[in-house]
Amino acid sequence: MQNAVVMTLLSALAGTLLSAHSVSAAARGARAAVFGHVGKATVEIYTLSNAHGIEARIMTYGASIVSLKTPDRDGHLQNIVLGFDTLDPYLAGVPYYGATVGRYANRIAQARFTLDGATFNLVANDGPNSLHGGSRGFDKRVWKADATASRNSLKLSYVSTAGEEGYPGQLTVHVTYRLLEDDSLSIEYEATTTAPTPVNLTNHAYFNLSGDPTRSILEHKLTINADKFTPVDATLIPTGELRAVAGTPFDFRSEAVIGSRIDADDAQLNVGHGYDHNWVLNAAHGNALRFAALLADPVSGRALEVRTTQPGLQFYSGNFMNGKQAGQGSVYGYRTGLCLETQHFPDSPNQPTFPSTVLRPGETYAQKTVLNFRTLKTPPN
């Protein structure tokens, strides 16, 4: 989609906004509480809030977003991400809800890669492939919170030892969440390493803008600023092709209802059991954050605009959510949440034509994603 079309779309949205109800300054701030324990480690949960009542709760286990309350068109606050009230479901293996995933988000083929002439074998946890950092990635680690957390920001840190899940080099990682007065939540990633290593970090929140976790996301409307996507093989590994979205169910350059084409007879949809693919985001001008996606729920009036420095966006439509209890499934029902994971492309360490994800000593990995929360004034007909 051309940049002029993107700006027209965002300008149209901006003209239909409602301001959220304000709250007193005394109700704002980063509040900490104990959320549970992993062995001898204490898991804390922090609450960030702004003047309009938007509230993000973030825990140190997995540097995860546990809940995120935003207003509907009538100013009613509800949680728009799927999560849990206790730590137990996360520890039982419910996959990636709200978590920071790494050392490498998404898949690496055959759980191995070659770097500077050496081959590194990773932990295979998705058939033959490595997914989201392996069997115990960053989502299953207790991060350290900065004790100076302000009322609207929280910095979390983790040191991944050399050899963890098969990756080379000791990686020091920081994730900073900032909830701002313009009703945006920014997620900033930084990392340094002692040896060359691939790095690809993202947040794995499951969104349902209705505020009702029993409702399907198929009626949500989605725009993705991408002319191409990366088709995948039978194990969801990119083939290396950058395929045009035009004329396919993957064309979200103009707003489309998610459920309108999700069951089309399309080879790529059949492989993913729906949408579970990476879109190649169109470039931004200069060093500006690129517009990635716009998600809207016409019923509640909530809208989410995503901007990022990352080159790709993985849109996952909850195809494997099964409603089974913690430890056996996703807990939440089929397609009641969706993910918009800003990222580098899957399997980049094995794809020489993809943008590089290699971080070397002396360099700093730095990526940023901003979630802007909006409210549509006009209800559906």
Q: How far apart are CA 365 and CA 356, in angstroms?
A: 12
- Neighbouring-strand partners of residue 361: none
Here the tokens at position 76 are 């009613």
* Residue indicated by tokens 């949205």: 13
Question: Is 341 one of the annotated active-site residues of the chain?
Answer: yes
3-state SS assignment for residue 230: strand
Q: How far apart are CA 367 and CA 342, in angstroms?
A: 10
The active-site residue, picked from 55, 164, 165, 341, is 341
Question: Is 190 one of the annotated active-site residues of the chain?
Answer: no
- Neighbouring-strand partners of residue 339: 316
- Neighbouring-strand partners of residue 131: 107
Q: How far apart are CA 206 and CA 338, in angstroms?
A: 5
HSE on the CB side for 89, CA within 13 Å? 19
Distance of CA 289 to the CA centre of its chain: 16
Q: How far apart are CA 298 and CA 122, in angstroms?
A: 43
User: What DSSP string runs through 27-47?
Assistant: G-S-EEEEEEEETTEEEEEEE
The active-site residue, picked from 204, 220, 277, 344, is 204
Backbone region of residue 59 per phi and psi (left: phi > 0; alpha: psi in -120 to 50; beta: other values): beta
- Residues annotated as catalytic (active site), given as ranges: 204, 341
